Chains A and B, each alone.
Chain A
Amino acid sequence: MNVNQSAPPVPPFGQPQPVYPGYHQSSYGGQPGSTAPPTHYGAYNGPVPGYQETLAPGVSRAPPSLGAPPATTAQTPCGQAAYGQFGQGDVQNGPSSTVQMQRLSGSQPFGSAPLAPVVSQPTVLQPYGPLPTSSQVTAQLAGMQISGAMAPAPPTLGLGYGSFGPGRGPQPNYGSPYPGAPTFGSQPGPPQPLPPKRLDPDAIPSPIQVIEDDRNNRGSEPFVTGVRGQVPPLVTTNFLVKDQGNASPRYIRCTSYNIPCTSDMAKQAQVPLAAVIKPLARLPPEEASPYVVDHGESGPLRCNRCKAYMCPFMQFIEGGRRFQCCFCSCINDVPPQYFQHLDHTGKRVDAYDRPELSLGSYEFLATVDYCKNNKFPSPPAFIFMIDVSYNAIRSGLVRLLCEELKSLLDCLPREGRAEESAIRVGFVTYNKVLHFYNVKSSLAQPQMMVVSDVADMFVPLLDGFLVNVNESRAVITSLLDQIPEMFADTRETETVFAPVIQAGMEALKAAECAGKLFLFHTSLPIAEAPGKLKNRDDRKLINTDKEKTLFQPQTGAYQTLAKECVAQGCCVDLFLFPNQYVDVATLCVVPQLTGGSVYKYACFQVENDQERFLSDLRRDVQKVVGFDAVMRVRTSTGIRAVDFFGAFYMSNTTDVELAGLDGDKTVTVEFKHDDRLNEESGALLQCALLYTSCAGQRRLRIHNLALNCCTQLADLYRNCETDTLINYMAKFAYRGVLNSPVKTVRDALITQCAQILACYRKNCASPSSAGQLILPECMKLLPVYLNCVLKSDVLQPGAEVTTDDRAYVRQLVTSMDVAETNVFFYPRLLPLTKSPIESTTEPPAVRASEERLSDGDIYLLENGLNLFLWVGASVQQGVVQSLFSVSSFSQITSGLSILPVLDNPLSKKVRGLVDSLRAQRSRYMKLIVVKQEDKLEMLFKHFLVEDKSLSGGASYVDFLCHMHKEIRQLLS
């Protein structure tokens, strides 16, 4: 057999083999075209450094008035030419898909625009370089602008500043940059002769640069939360937090830290007001976890009217006898046992002794009033429910899992320094019927109880099902030894699903405790039972109005079930091991609504996926979880939490009910105005989470955050956080696909983005030519990130993306925090051999674009779920040898998932880096080695998000052009 014909080692994503060739052809066929542009770029790149050099002295901006008038006429043809070329390139490069055509036609008006060249001028991120501190950045509110290459238009030319809107007079600070402007003004000279044909990718805002800058500027000193409305450092920056009255950004991040005072302003700006809340976020070891406050039998002190909890913003008056609620202004009596005198500033004398008066985040011990049925909860339980149908047995999953559980059960989460975990465990196996196990410590052998009445599920035993691990260890071990044997010869291929969850839930109900189900499931549940599913995967639906059905659950049964689970505090974690379509969209409903996690291992094989699965499992079992939780977000009068995104269930409009909530789960909350806000008092958020700890203690975790309010839109734009914004927008869009066609969702995103930017342009930026694209400083990455969202698998699936994958990703994103969405949408690409081998820090990332890859290098790419090691074709032999222990590039196994352990600095470093990347993410990323020009490279290229994607996603540059056009349309 021909070696070349052998299949790639692992078809990632389990896509059918035939897809490859097609994919292959089209891409390689286009290769000549795609190689062409770099030469242009090369030409372009020339002037840039020079330009930057000139700027370096600190001339960060050019005055708007700068520029040579005559260019106007010349400009137009230039622009057209530029466009023309662009268009050609497109046609050559991309597969001829309808999407492409759309883009083409979409860009036409742009081409005909009078000031087409807008985008072509190599723009520099002037403000950043010279500005040392963040405060300066905010003070200057530097915007960025991309101006025409010719930059000749008199008023508009030059770099449009992200200025603060017309209302503002020049500020003193501006003085210094301005003088520098003339030098810039002279600059247009040199670019002019250059063919301004293409937008220089280096000239457009670079996420890498922004991240780097933020790291450099803000990573060094701790972020102190004392001041209201402070924008925290980016999620990509390592920083310490000092809680001085506001919740750490690890708990809450907002899209904007300055909220418009009126709803009109908010509507005008279109900037979503949202907070991404991660109530149980894990903190770095240097930061203390929230203090636990015990107010004894009376329970936490609350406002009588709005029930807000005591917090640092409450105003004590009348000598401390009363306090005024900072949320609803109600005046409450201070109970005698809580009374304390005030000092001369009106502050309680004991303010700093009490966490609830001085910190942004703290916990109250809840009283029995806060418990279900007015009874203190019993410790939660974990139930492991294992699919033992033919597929699960054959893939080796059951054996692997049982073996792992034996040791994993020692690592159940425990509270604080508790000796042993209070959590009890139970075991169920199932195929078409369910098998419960009695593992009571007094038994010599476990007992199996089969329930075949799947239509009407119930729990067959009480005593002996949920047990303490240490007491029943012998029986459990015996059980885990026997499970793989018992079912070794099974021929049962059908499985049930809903009854399994039902059973777990009933078990918890019978034991009167909350808990978590760990479901290990392999196939579409087609056995006759409630929640039975049929295969409805239909690729023909993609890009039709019916596409949304692919994301919707097949049956309402799972919602009902989830509701019951939530009522019982039963959280469901689902591990899927599908070989084919399993309808993730439906299976995920319960985990999603109960605050659980879903893990998917397509075509699971022990040899290849063991590490990943076990690592995820270990982490999932060990992580600290709050059970039976209710979250409520209270706000000061004027705004109101109106919409919630995440993995939870809501039975009314205010309470977020979470059967389980772990440190990775995030809830995104959107706020809307219902009244005017006051600039002086700002806006307050209080997120209260009532939950049962893993030792069965009922607690309330409170996070407070004070935001500023503004009457000037510029203040809003100055205090925004793009990462959070993207988090919100992605979640909004991903929810949108349930109800609207994907195209509608995409268009809405683009429109909103354009509106945001147009509003800025109109109200905040200093007047400039319409041909200029002016972006607010805080949002200059919005287009690139948004583009990533738009071309993500959910919103624009490629041919190789399965329906299940899309549903899976959609589900994942819903509860991602800001850091996760950030890297998920814009993957990190780390060159491995560029930096000296001795350096211990992470190598600086490069932009996710193919043209950033040099074939003599090795790169790591990660997005929080996937990890690729890309090996350039002409990488040094020594490097190959020391990393892969093979002599040449051609001998590297493509698709390799484990790097050989070699005793040399490079190997150690790379493996160390892989490990540290994995440690940063909540899920284990399986490594895939990709060789340049290899089949697998297509998969890898999918993550180079600045490039045009095969599925029709625009390249960054194209999208920016398109965005500009949209803005201009809005403005005109």
Chain B
Amino acid sequence: MATYLEFIQQNEERDGVRFSWNVWPSSRLEATRMVVPLACLLTPLRERPDLPPVQYEPVLCSRPTCKAILNPLCQVDYRAKLWACNFCFQRNQFPPAYTGISEVNQPAELMPQFSTIEYVIQRGPQSPLIFLYVVDTCLEEDDLQALKESLQMSLSLLPPDALVGLITFGRMVQVHELSCEGISKSFVFRGTKDLTAKQIQDMLGLTTPAMPMQQARPQEHPFVSSRFLQPIQKIDMNLTDLLGELQRDPWPVTQGKRPLRSTGVALSIAVGLLEGTFPNTGARIMLFTGGPPTQGPGMVVGDELKVPIRSWHDIEKDNARFMKKATKHYEMLANRAATNGHCIDIYACALDQTGLLEMKCCANLTGGHMVMGDSFNTSLFKQTFQRIFSKDFNGNFRMAFGATLEVKTSRELKIAGAVGPCVSLNVKGPCVSENELGVGGTSQWKICGLDPTSTLGIYFEVVNQHNAPIPQGGRGAIQFVTQYQHSSTQRRIRVTTVARKARFLVSPECKPGTNSGTVSWADAQSHLRHIEAAFDQEAAAVLMARLGVFRAESEEGPDVLRWLDRQLIRLCQKFGQYNKEDPTSFRLSDSFSLYPQFMFHLRRSPFLQVFNNSPDESSYYRHHFARQDLTQSLIMIQPILYSYSFHGPPEPVLLDSSSILADRILLMDTFFQIVIYLGETIAQWRKAGYQDMPEYENFKHLLQAPLDDAQEILQARFPMPRYINTEHGGSQARFLLSKVNPSQTHNNLYTWGQETGAPILTDDVSLQVFMDHLKKLAVSSAC
């Protein structure tokens, strides 16, 4: 049998699913003893070039409360043309189209390798993709120019039949009518007044005045809306000109004031416009803003420059007077957009904060992108923006819209919740747990915008009572059904059905038994070992981190840290091997060995530490953390550090201050930043210009190597990371120094007696200290 590592990898490849435990506890009691909840990271639209979608519709279980989809785990009676639902055990007739079915002539969905399968729904109208640009005009001239160019460029990337719309805002909000010839026409709204969706639609003339007529001519509906949303092929030139003519907001901004920016109303109108014209159709609202909203609903800061925008300090002191109201406004918008299947992207480029803290829910709840940069005139923004329109191997956009994710579980499991870019659809059902982890209380979530990397953490609860456990070796099954609008405008359904075995952790009355040819086991200890081996510490770390970050949004930072610590200690107590009260005897098995380290870095990460980060930055980091896949998430938790030196080929080194050596070049990838750091000697050499001398060509190559590698990362990453090229003593070196484990600080540098590495000026505890404490606590019986 393959190792668990391979098993995990294979599963991830095929299904886009990684469980924290690959063997499930058999009862609720055991589940709680395992500390890390049973959960999985699901990447619903993981790219599967090898998986062509089938051109028919899935077969559903006929039980109205179940409606699970036929999958390889179902038992099929080929003769009777019956199949048994593996979730509710309902026996179902195959539909007439399946009459030719037999053991040798199986439909794809019954083949084990198609545990993940994608169906294309042919029925229903195909609605085009909709892109609604919401553009801030209170920008500096060159910023606006760069943004205009980016937008114009993006038009060429859109499919010709995509509908586009344009809303610009500053002090006022302008909804541009794109259909008209000659005079360009726009509807203008006051930036200070919150309008209901109905009012907006009335004012835009989207409601047909004569009510009785409405039924008579439903086909006219798209025509009405098309004034503001037009197929790109029709108005390409028009819109390009219009964008070209965009002027900075003409209202004067007096000294000492911020420009008046009506982001809140602009977004409200964008949401209202789409709500009125294309409800339940995939659409992207793309908000480009260059500063904080300063007026109207959703304002984050007043226009007086002397009053700075809220900091974490202000928030803690309850001094952020606009925050609550603004957050409420954007939450309301986000929920409305989510209800209608529209996603909201935020591209915020400014040196100061732009109110992402308040607006984050717009992107978080709708699955939109959030991009934070210093200026629209940077490659960071330009390339990130361009990458949104990148295409997959089939030439389709890497984006999907209006998805609903439904999770079905076999009866021993219940769904506790999800953490990710989704909103609850509030579908209660028998498989919904009362204990919520993340967004819970539902078996369905809406993900308005998602891409192949969007990943949700889904948490489960084992409900079997201890005295009625899952039969040994019984297989729990979970089915993920993702219905979405593909970027080719088709409706598709991707179904992933997974099953894992259940094991007793400690089962006094249990007798060894065999079960359908799977692994058998001998005693309680071996159970444990089995379970240990099935622990996916990477997935577990990310899943725990997601829970932590989710909690951090609503709870005080220290509480979350304490909770994480406690979980870690309990885990170590449970799975560590040690003698009581003897820290030195503490050992963890391989499958757990990295976990404490992850937790150490997680504690220091910007997701949980707000020190040195603005509220906007925290929101930005958390946003990405909550939607990236496992690999990227891990990079975020524990950045990767590579070393380049003459001593050998490039190698990953410890994320530790001891890795910072004079004759090394370091490349650190924190997901958000790519830092190239030249050690002291290397920097001196470069300064001396050795790289330009033909005889030191190898040095030139050495310098070039990290750059090339960095480029490679930059090419693939979304959003574009901040690219930092620094050297020993450089001011930007702080990015590196703040991430590495401070094993050498000004406090212990000389006591360690080593001259290598770089001391970090911090009072943070190092990993070593952390581990020592952990061991001590784990072995102590007091805990």
Contact = CB atoms under 8 A, between A and B. Distances in A.
Most interface-central of B174, B184, B199 (chain A CB within 10 A)? B184
Contacts of B187: 449-452
Given A443-B245, A458-B190, A461-B172, A448 B185 contact: yes
A456 B193 contact: yes
Most interface-central of A435, A444, A461 (chain B CB within 10 A)? A461
A386 to B, nearest CB: 14
Nearest to B177: A450
B545 to A, nearest CB: 46
B184 A445 contact: yes
B193 A453 contact: yes
B188 A479 contact: no
A462 interface: yes
B472 interface: no
A447 interface: yes
Contact of A460 (B172, B193, B205): B172
B259 to A, nearest CB: 13
A663 interface: no
B188 A436 contact: yes
B186 A449 contact: yes
Given A453-B193, A462-B250, A447 B204 contact: no
Contact of A447 (B172, B186, B190, B203): B186
B600 to A, nearest CB: 56
B383 to A, nearest CB: 32
A461 B245 contact: no
A684 to B, nearest CB: 47
B183 A479 contact: yes
B205 to A, nearest CB: 7
Given A445-B182, A447-B186, A460-B172, A452 B250 contact: no
A463 B186 contact: no
Contacts of B195: 453
Contacts of A445: 182-184
Contacts of B177: 450
A789 to B, nearest CB: 48
Interface in A437-487: 437, 443-453, 456, 458, 460-464, 479, 482, 485-486
B89 interface: no
Contacts of B174: 449, 460
B184 A448 contact: yes
Contact of A463 (B202, B203, B250): B250
Interface string A479-506: 1001001100000000000000000000
A656 B252 CA distance: 34
Contact of A452 (B204, B251, B252): B204
Nearest to B192: A458
Most interface-central of B183, B186, B193, B202 (chain A CB within 10 A)? B183
A436 to B, nearest CB: 7
Interface in B183-216: 183-190, 193, 195, 199, 202-205
B184 A447 contact: yes
A437 B183 CA distance: 9
A464 B247 CA distance: 11
Contact of A451 (B188, B199, B247): B188
A443 B180 CA distance: 17
Contact of B188 (A444, A450, A456, A486): A450
Interface string B708-751: 00000000000000000000000000000000000000000000
Nearest to B186: A449
A463 B170 CA distance: 13
Contacts of A437: 183
A452 B189 CA distance: 8
Interface string B225-244: 00000000000000000000
Nearest to B242: A447
Q: Dominant SS at the B interface?
A: mixed
A482 B193 contact: no
B250 A464 contact: yes
Nearest to B241: A444
A493 to B, nearest CB: 12
A445 B244 CA distance: 13
A485 B180 CA distance: 12
Contacts of A433: 203, 205
Contact of B251 (A448, A450, A462, A486): A462
A445 B180 CA distance: 12
Given A443-B245, A460-B174, A463-B250, A452 B185 contact: no
Nearest to B171: A462
Contacts of B180: 448
B296 to A, nearest CB: 12
Contacts of A462: 250-252
A450 B250 contact: no
Nearest to B187: A450
B250 A461 contact: yes
Contacts of A452: 187, 202-205
Contacts of A456: 190, 193
Nearest to A447: B184
A444 B238 CA distance: 13
Nearest to A436: B188
Contacts of B202: 452
Contacts of A436: 188
B250 A482 contact: no
B757 to A, nearest CB: 59
A373 to B, nearest CB: 15
A848 B186 CA distance: 58
A388 to B, nearest CB: 13
A452 B172 CA distance: 13
Given A436-B188, A460-B174, A453 B203 contact: yes
A437 B188 CA distance: 12
A486 B202 CA distance: 21
Most interface-central of B182, B188, B189, B250 (chain A CB within 10 A)? B188
A194 B592 CA distance: 140
Contacts of A463: 247, 250
Contacts of B250: 461-464
A451 to B, nearest CB: 5
A62 B182 CA distance: 83
Contacts of A479: 183
B198 to A, nearest CB: 13
Contacts of B185: 435, 447-450
Contacts of A451: 187-189
Interface string A547-567: 000000000000000000000
A479 B185 CA distance: 12
Nearest to B250: A463
Nearest to A432: B205
A463 B253 CA distance: 13
Nearest to A443: B245
A453 B190 contact: yes
Interface string A667-690: 000000000000000000000000
A448 B190 contact: no
B268 to A, nearest CB: 13
Nearest to B195: A453
Interface string A849-861: 0000000000000
Contact of B182 (A453, A464, A482): A482
A548 to B, nearest CB: 37
A451 B180 CA distance: 17
28 contacts: A433-B203, A436-B188, A443-B245, A445-B182, A447-B185, A447-B186, A448-B180, A448-B184, A448-B185, A449-B185, A449-B186, A449-B187, A450-B185, A450-B186, A450-B188, A451-B188, A451-B189, A452-B187, A452-B203, A453-B193, A453-B203, A456-B190, A460-B174, A461-B172, A462-B251, A463-B250, A464-B250, A485-B182
Which 9 pairs across A and B sit closest by C-beta, in order of nearness? A460-B188, A463-B250, A452-B203, A448-B185, A450-B187, A449-B188, A458-B190, A447-B184, A448-B183
Given A450-B187, A452-B203, 16 more contacts: A433-B205, A445-B183, A445-B184, A448-B183, A448-B184, A449-B174, A449-B187, A450-B185, A451-B189, A452-B202, A453-B190, A461-B172, A463-B250, A464-B250, A479-B183, A485-B182
